[in-house]
Amino acid sequence: MSFMKKLGDAFNKAGEKAGEFADFASDKASTMATQTKYKMEQQKLRGKIPTLYKELGEKIYLAMKDDLGHDVLTATVADYTKQIDEVNAEIVELDKKIEEVAQGVDEVVEVEEQVVETTEAAVEAAQAPVEAVEAVQANVVEEVQSTTVASGEVPSQVAQETTMNSENN
């Protein structure tokens, strides 16, 4: 396999992995947004509980004060107990959803790490040939300079022409 083919393959692979990484980053951002949404819903629900307790206390107080009887008091307590239990159940459901989303994020992070490792390896593989070409170019410039000094030409002018030629190639 030729040097240029290997270099091209390395860059193609790096490009593919970078595309995959971008897709995964987008997915991660989406899952993080979903988690944040669920956590905000939880906070809102948690804020309802103290309000329900306060309302329950007021209802009990008024029922006792107005001597509304045991049946009214029991029904009021049962109603608020049910409401509080429902809010707590919703909070637990949101905990489960947050955990499910978090597991998805963990999977994305693992794949992202693999993509980064592969991309780094491709970049390293591509860098070695570039360094070799730079070393060869430096040697060519030195040879041209030494040759031109021997022939009496101006070294800086020849070196500039050689450098420009190598940059154009």
Length of the chain: 169
Residue bearing the bigger pLDDT, 78 or 163: 78
Given a cut of 80, whether residue 87 has pLDDT beyond it is: yes
What pLDDT, on the 0 to 100 scale, is given for residue 96?
95
Given a cut of 60, whether residue 83 has pLDDT beyond it is: yes
Please report which confidence band the pLDDT of residue 106 belongs to, taking 50, 70 and 90 as the band edges.
low
Residues 6 or more apart in contact with residue 159 via CB below 8 angstroms: 141, 144, 145, 148
Residue bearing the bigger pLDDT, 9 or 158: 9
Residue recorded with tokens 């050689």: 162
Mean pLDDT throughout 58-68? 89
| 35-49, 97-111, 147-161: least confident range | 147-161
What pLDDT, on the 0 to 100 scale, is given for residue 112?
60
